Amino acid sequence: MPKSLPNLSRFELQCLRMFWEEDEATVREIHGRLENAPSYSTVRKIVERLEGKGAVERVRRDGKAWVYRSAIAPTPMIQREIRRFLDGLFNGSAVPLVAHLAEMDALTLEDLKEIEKAAAGRGDEEDAS
């Protein structure tokens, strides 16, 4: 597992997400799962880049193909990307993001209740420390 998280492009993240979902996969399997996928060779190059950045690792050969798996856990990578997004668009605050999501009807009342529950639970954890 790499010490620091690599900077990944949007497409690299999309491919990495496939490894999180599948645990292990070949380039051909990733290529087959991508909607509107670019050429196989492009996907192969992206997986090679992910390997070079320490985001995926080779596990074994399956015939002529390498089988890869993620070398990065999803949670820290997702949290870092969310932080970059909030910092870049909303000066670090999640409030305008949630307001925009509500305005776009991307959040239901149930979603907001779940967010409130999660935030209340987090507050309880902070009080205990």
Look at residue 121 and tell me whether its pLDDT is greater than 90.
no
Q: Is residue 1 part of a domain?
A: no
Q: What pLDDT shows up at residue 119?
A: 85
Could you tell me if 14 and 64 lie in one domain? yes
Q: What pLDDT shows up at residue 1?
A: 45
Could you tell me if 58 and 94 lie in one domain? no
Q: What pLDDT shows up at residue 3?
A: 61
Q: What pLDDT shows up at residue 127?
A: 55
Distance CA 81, CA 43 (A): 22
- Domain encompassing residue 63: 10-70
Taking residues 88-107, report their average pLDDT. 90
Q: What is the pLDDT of residues 6-45, one digit of tens each?
A: 999 999 999 999 999 988 999 999 999 998 989 999 999 9
Number of independent structural domains in the chain:
2
Of the residues 70, 96, 111, the one at which a domain ends:
70
Could you tell me if 31 and 44 lie in one domain? yes
Q: What pLDDT shows up at residue 122?
A: 74
Could you tell me if 38 and 78 lie in one domain? no
Could you tell me if 20 and 53 lie in one domain? yes
Look at residue 102 and tell me whether its pLDDT is greater than 90.
no
Structure tokens that stand for 81 in this block? 């990307």
Q: What is the mean pLDDT of the chain?
A: 89
Of the residues 70, 99, 116, the one at which a domain ends:
70
Could you tell me if 124 and 88 lie in one domain? yes
Q: What pLDDT shows up at residue 76?
A: 93
Is this model's pTM higher than 0.95 or not?
A: no
Distance CA 110, CA 108 (A): 5
Could you tell me if 46 and 30 lie in one domain? yes
Which residue, among 12, 1, 5, 3, has the nearest Cα to 83 in the 3D structure?
5
**Packing angle of the helix pair 74-90, 10-22 (nearest 10 deg):** 150
DSSP string, the chain: --SSPPP--HHHHHHHHHHHHHSEE-HHHHHHHSTT---HHHHHHHHHHHHHTTSEEEEEEETTEEEEEESS-HHHHHHHHHHHHHHHHHTT-SHHHHHHHHHTT-S-HHHHHHHHHHHHHHHHHHHH-
Of the residues 29, 47, 70, the one at which a domain ends:
70
Residue 47's pLDDT band (boundaries 50, 70, 90)?
very high
Q: How far is CA 39 from the centre of its chain?
A: 22
Determine contact, residues 30/47, Cβ cutoff 8 Å.
yes
